[in-house]
Structure 1
């Protein structure tokens, strides 16, 4: 005898209509991402910046050299991006109907402006273009198939499963050279954003230090910022040979080509900034163990500085959602994950550290000091 079909609670009329609207939003959010990608490919943030940060739709059309027939469609794209918070509408100090057709930059779109040379400005366009690339989206589309596979040994990411390559690995370049460059540029811009804020907000983080090794420090942008603010700190950048080969030889920062899984240059402090969330717990313990071996004891001023996402709802639903979406990004494209404070504590203890403290939480990130 066939089992009886389970019953279902029928929503009220109001609940049903709201559920349908919510379903539209969740099913179509990718169009906001693609609209953002389109805006960057067209150069809209930079064009608005070149107008002084605010412009009209006709002037924006002219600046982008778009066919006049596309103006109504661009207006519709901008309406979505304004509603989603990428741009703002109207002038700064007026709400007249005439100014309602103006579009201006806000803090989000300002970090999407290219070609600007300014302290602490790190354009995030490469991060967006990588995150919305066909390679990332194809990996996400394969998520259900990935879940069904029973794989022995270390579980590859959906990205590895679909593309046969590992992100942040030399195999990425073999898969697609342009993607590899986008990922490298996006990672550098993402990591360097906010270092000035960290130095201003965490006053004692570098106080008393004589030397620091920035692991996966790229071209040394963060290390140079630290040296500029704290001239007494001798900074070394550790990164892969392909990165170090392109680093500037300015005499301000010492560059060492190597692999943080095998050896970390000895210094009073070692810094891991947005590094560990790309790696599995097992790999993180290996990395942290190398860092521990590179520093002196807590009594001698030794510490590992970790700047990374600390998942938790305490900072409000928007930042919490951003943290969880970044965790999904790691799930789909790497073997890493975002971690709660308890997750971080377990990693530190397993790697042999004796203690830690959270110096400060800044947005989605936490600044840790970890001691031998």
Structure 2
């Protein structure tokens, strides 16, 4: 019997025209990132904030001390960023006014609010030459067969993020990457403390792994003065920060030892590591805490892929590719998280709440 010929669906002319526009959009997405980088470097979000939250192009040109001849070019830049949701436009008057959105609000420094952590360093790091060059090496990286693959970033630059090798490669870039990491990690702790207050009630002591300068630990102590907080990070990090007397700072390696506490906090730490390394980290955490009956637990705040949709899911998946390109880590869905938790010898992994693209969950021994 002759095989039946399958009829292939042929796109309509209208579908092909839209498809071409979609290809333009996908191929040129990097220009939106570069336009955002430009806006941050020029200080546009901060300027709009100083001007009362809204401004016209002439006022923006004047405030930024840009040549008047660049006004038409600035209009084109702002038009793209407004279409992308970075800014918004107000056309209710004869003069077009640009205003901040929640996205560009995150790019304003020195706003005195507990839940505000400027993300300018994150934008500049993500759009840096080192990250862009690493992503250009992705296809070559896929073609290589190796037992334990390094990241494209490591292969292109011969250095790893947040490692001494990065300092040797470019001290200025290493400083920027660490500023971006701090901005990324410390953002949202106030929201977590508000939305998941019960998570910390009854906890008497807590170790914040990779806690950096202690910003997160300080927020916990402010909200729960009875909690004795310890910050663990690499000696090269701990030795360079100003210490807070209310927090105990310890330089060390979480793969080898975690200071004992009733609870251990891993806030946006594990997505930098492979499953095998996460199991090693969690195993050290298990050694550091008492039994469940004595209140022992691990608090994890990290990205949980799905079941979100739209821009949240897209952000989660882009962060996953960012981990693949720049680190040896990955983003995980709920089943992935449960799998590594159980392999590390814990009895339960319970998601307490989803906050944006990340989840807050408890792990019990």
> Which TM-score tier does this pair reach, normalised by the shorter chain?
over 0.9
Q: Matches of residues 208-287 of structure 1 in structure 2 within 5 Å?
A: 208-287=202-281
Q: CA deviation at 1:8?
A: 6.6
Whether 2:88 is the aligned partner of 1:127: answer no
| Residue number in structure 2 paired with 1:368 | 361
Q: TM-score, normalised by structure 1?
A: 0.94
| Residue number in structure 2 paired with 1:68 | 68
CA distance in 2, matches of 1:133, 1:358: 34
Whether 2:289 is the aligned partner of 1:317: answer no
Structure 1 residues 129-152: Cα deviation after superposition (integer angstroms, max 9, x where no partner): 11001110111011111111112x
| Residue number in structure 1 paired with 2:3 | none
Q: Matches of residues 291-330 of structure 1 in structure 2 within 5 Å?
A: 291-312=285-306, 314-330=307-323
CA distance in 2, matches of 1:238, 1:31: 39
After TM superposition, which residue ranges in structure 1, 4 or more long, deviate above 4 angstroms? 6-9
CA distance in 2, matches of 1:198, 1:249: 24
CA distance in 1, matches of 2:244, 2:229: 12
| Residue number in structure 2 paired with 1:3 | none
| Residue number in structure 2 paired with 1:163 | 157
Whether 2:345 is the aligned partner of 1:349: answer no
CA distance in 2, matches of 1:98, 1:226: 49
Structure 1 residues 230-261: Cα deviation after superposition (integer angstroms, max 9, x where no partner): 11111110001121112222311110111111
CA distance in 1, matches of 2:296, 2:136: 45
Q: CA deviation at 1:108?
A: 0.6
Among 280, 284, 295, which residue is 1:290 paired with? 284
Whether 2:330 is the aligned partner of 1:337: answer yes
CA distance in 2, matches of 1:51, 1:193: 25
Whether 2:178 is the aligned partner of 1:184: answer yes
Q: CA deviation at 1:315?
A: 2.4
Whether 2:154 is the aligned partner of 1:154: answer no
Q: CA deviation at 1:96?
A: 1.7
CA distance in 2, matches of 1:125, 1:250: 25
CA distance in 2, matches of 1:10, 1:120: 51
Q: CA deviation at 1:118?
A: 3.4
| Residue number in structure 1 paired with 2:94 | 98
Unaligned runs of 5+ in 1: 1-5
**What secondary structure does 2:80 align onto?**
helix
CA distance in 2, matches of 1:114, 1:170: 28
CA distance in 1, matches of 2:216, 2:97: 36
CA distance in 2, matches of 1:269, 1:318: 33
| Residue number in structure 2 paired with 1:53 | 53
Structure 1 residues 151-186: Cα deviation after superposition (integer angstroms, max 9, x where no partner): 2x2111000111111111111111111111111001
The answer on whether the counterparts of 2:115 and 2:191 sit within 8 Å (CA) in structure 1 is no
